[in-house]
Chains A and B, each alone.
Chain A
């Protein structure tokens, strides 16, 4: 029997480049929440799909690429729009997280493993409520949501 293979989506289109205003909002969020310098993202542009922002290298060829090619993905899935908030992806934080200066939460290995296993653990720390970057022994692991008294894992 011939094996069925998945076919590409014929509607696949290049994601929409964000407006200047949208870019400014994203950069402001990244700086205010995590202390990411906007200069870090100068070589990149942000592209938008329905629920996500993607990071893609700046290129004068983008329009030509979009005209000729049906893409599956463009760049790195960077932020998800979750009920009005922006959540950085694991991939984004594992790449850039070590350059963050705010809302980075250091966990010991035991607590990290417990969080990965249980997904939600009781936790209290001097942190602003919201998304935090998880760091363990110098490595950036990804994202969690800190709410008063608890920590919710977004690690895959």
Chain B
């Protein structure tokens, strides 16, 4: 008799053809995701202090070779939020793949950058750190309670180059031409789904929001906020092509944008040019897909675009 599929397996079945090593992907769903943190180099560049300090509290810390200033921590089930290192703003716990959009953005000191869906601030603070606190970042989120969490993180890390705003991303005021805009869009979060002991899906988002509609609104507004030649990075932590390639494809049909190739520090796959019979722009192969079982972190999608007009 065939084994009954778990809820998790049934859920991901529609992606069987696009997820590489699909069986391995399913097996990996049962494993808890590794825990990582970023060292806050605005305060500290020598990781020894943090490695020793966390070591005294029972954590084993080892650097991630491919991404500077990132460290993997065991045991992964224990929160870092109660440690001195967290309180003092020496570390920012975040998943490894969350660093990828900032890699694609390649922020430089002096640039004017908008992080359109910023809270709780992992990427905002990473941009600040990458630019030595010398890019000017507008960090926006549509909810004030989430901005409060963002501001707490900015304060904890000692970031001085960020102004925070509360607008609906799709309606962010026009009138400033940003050098770069990051849209780390609200998404279904499939990249972080795990399988529970009984095959149920963990971390599944509730609700019936039309996410692709929101994402399309965000990406078009982000484009309109760019200076000509400016860079737009669109990212999600979901596998779903309707929230990824279809959204970028929508922008390419509505505006004069160009998909750029970029060189990610983790194993990746080309974006799709077709999904369920619907073709996408051929340049979408330059967008990158990251799968949880290949990178030992939350699955991600990142597209880098340039405004050409």
Instruction: State the A residues within 8 Å of B (CB).
Output: 5-8, 43-44, 55-57, 59, 61, 64-65, 67-78, 91-92, 94-96, 98, 138-141
Query: What are the residues of chain A within 8 A of B164 when measuring CB–CB?
Result: 71-74
- Are A70 and B165 also in contact (CB < 8 A) when A8-B144, A57-B133, A64-B176 are? yes
A59 touches B136 (CB 8 A): yes
Q: In residues 79-94 of chain B, which contact A (Cβ within 8 Å)?
A: 84, 88-90
Closest 10 CB pairs of A and B: A95-B158, A57-B161, A76-B160, A8-B166, A68-B175, A91-B155, A59-B136, A74-B163, A72-B164, A55-B160
Alpha-carbon gap, A65 to B178, bound state (A): 11
Q: Beyond A70-B165, A139-B84, is A77–B155 a contact (Cβ under 8 Å)?
A: yes
**Docked complex Cα distance between A73 and B161 (Å):** 11
Whether B173 is near chain A, meaning CB under 8 Å from some CB there, is yes
Contact A91 B158 (CB under 8 A): yes
Question: Could you say which residues of chain B place their CB within 8 Å of the CB of A91?
Answer: 89, 155-156, 158
The reply to whether B176 and A68 form a contact with Cβ atoms under 8 Å apart is yes
Q: Which residues of B255-282 have CB atoms within 8 Å of chain A's CB atoms?
A: none
Q: Count of A-B contacts with CB under 8 A?
A: 96
Are B173 and A5 in contact, CB atoms less than 8 angstroms apart? no
> What are 28 contact pairs spanning A and B, CB under 8 A?
A5-B143, A6-B144, A6-B145, A8-B166, A44-B160, A57-B133, A57-B135, A57-B136, A57-B160, A61-B136, A65-B136, A65-B176, A68-B173, A69-B138, A69-B163, A70-B166, A72-B164, A73-B163, A75-B161, A75-B163, A76-B159, A78-B160, A91-B156, A94-B88, A95-B43, A95-B160, A139-B84, A141-B88
Interface size on B, residues (CB 8 A): 35
Residue-wise interface mask of B (170-208) relative to A, using a CB-CB cutoff of 8 A (1 in contact, 0 not): 000111100000000000000000000000000000000
Known contacts: A5-B144, A139-B84. The answer to whether A94 contacts B158 by CB under 8 A is yes
Enumerate chain B residues within 8 angstroms of A98, measured Cβ to Cβ. 43
Complexed CA–CA distance, A60 and B90 (Å): 30
Contacts of A5 in B (CB 8 A): 143-145
Q: How far is the CB of A1 from chain B (nearest CB, A)?
A: 16
Across the interface, which residues of B come within 8 angstroms of A78, CB to CB?
160
B292 within 8 A of A: no
Known A91-B155, A94-B43, A138-B49; contact A75-B160, beta-carbon cutoff 8 A: yes
Query: Contact between A75 and B173 (Cβ–Cβ < 8 Å)?
Result: no
Q: Are A56 and B112 in contact (CB under 8 A)?
A: no
Which residues 107-149 of B sit at the A interface, judged by CB distance below 8 A?
Answer: 112, 133-136, 138, 143-145, 147
Residue B26 is within 8 A (CB to CB) of chain A in the complex: no
Is A7 a contact partner of B165 (Cβ separation < 8 A)? Answer: no
| B61 on the A face (CB < 8 A) | no
Docked pose: A68 CA to B164 CA in angstroms: 13
Q: Bound complex: CA of A39 vs CA of B144, how far in Å?
A: 35
**B89: A residues at CB distance < 8 A:** 91, 94-95
- Measured between beta carbons, the chain A residues less than 8 angstroms from B133 are 43, 57
Please measure, in the bound complex, the distance between the C-alpha atom of A142 and the C-alpha atom of B151, giving whole angstroms. Answer: 18
Contact partners of A59 in chain B: CB under 8 A = 112, 136
Q: Does B154 contact A (CB under 8 A)?
A: yes
Does B284 lie at the interface of the complex (its beta carbon under 8 Å from any beta carbon of A)? Answer: no
Query: With a CB–CB cut-off of 8 A, which chain B residues contact A55?
Result: 160
Contact partners of B166 in chain A: CB under 8 A: 8, 70, 72
B162 on the A face (CB < 8 A): yes
From 26 to 82 in chain B, residues with beta carbon under 8 angstroms from any chain A beta carbon are 42-43, 49
A residues less than 8 Å from B165 (CB atoms): 69-72
Minimum CB–CB distance from B199 to chain A (whole Å) comes to 32
